[in-house]
Structure 1
């Protein structure tokens, strides 16, 4: 399974990358995390950072 959490890369350099992830309050996973106070799950944040790092290190 492949899912790309990065919506757009806006800047790259030899040692950095700036990426955007748009999050909507309508996202299904936010309905239960936490009801009335939606928070992006930490595992989603980590996966987004891993994906950004892979793009930065790609040849």
Structure 2
């Protein structure tokens, strides 16, 4: 399986319309700012999803993490991945409105 999956990444065009915009993301996920960490979904199929979070210097966590060398906290990066994964999972069921991820 490792050999099969190695180097296989979905192709997507950053200039194309997203599969989900932020409105569709909010229709799918219960999260809301400041804890919504998905702005759009660029690729979605039955096995893979690619999401994007637009991060600006105005994010509140940059004030203290770390001053002078701002970094998005790892736990928030993991939360963003979990939210995008939630969209993938909800895309595989017939009635996603009946589930919370």
Settle same-fold status: TM greater than 0.5: yes
CA RMSD of aligned residues (A): 1.4
For residues 26 and 50 of structure 1, the distance between their equivalents in structure 2, rounded to whole angstroms, comes to 23
Give structure 1 stretches of 5+ with no counterpart.
none
Structure 1 ranges of 4+ moved more than 3 A: none
Deviations 1:10-55 (A, max 9, x none): 1101100010000001212101000000000011101001111111
Structure 1 residue aligned with 2:79? 47
For residues 54 and 2 of structure 1, the distance between their equivalents in structure 2, rounded to whole angstroms, comes to 11
Give structure 2 stretches of 5+ with no counterpart.
1-29, 94-101
Structure 2 residue aligned with 1:22? 54
Structure 1 residue aligned with 2:31? 2
For residues 18 and 41 of structure 1, the distance between their equivalents in structure 2, rounded to whole angstroms, comes to 20
TM-score, structure 2 length as denominator? Answer: 0.55
Correspondence 1:57 to 2:89:
yes
Structure holding more strand per residue: 1
The one of the two structures with greater contact order (alpha-carbon pairs below 8 A, sep at least 6) is: 1
Instruction: Give the structure with higher Rg (CA).
Output: 2
How far the C-alpha of 1:2 sits from its partner, in A, is 3.3
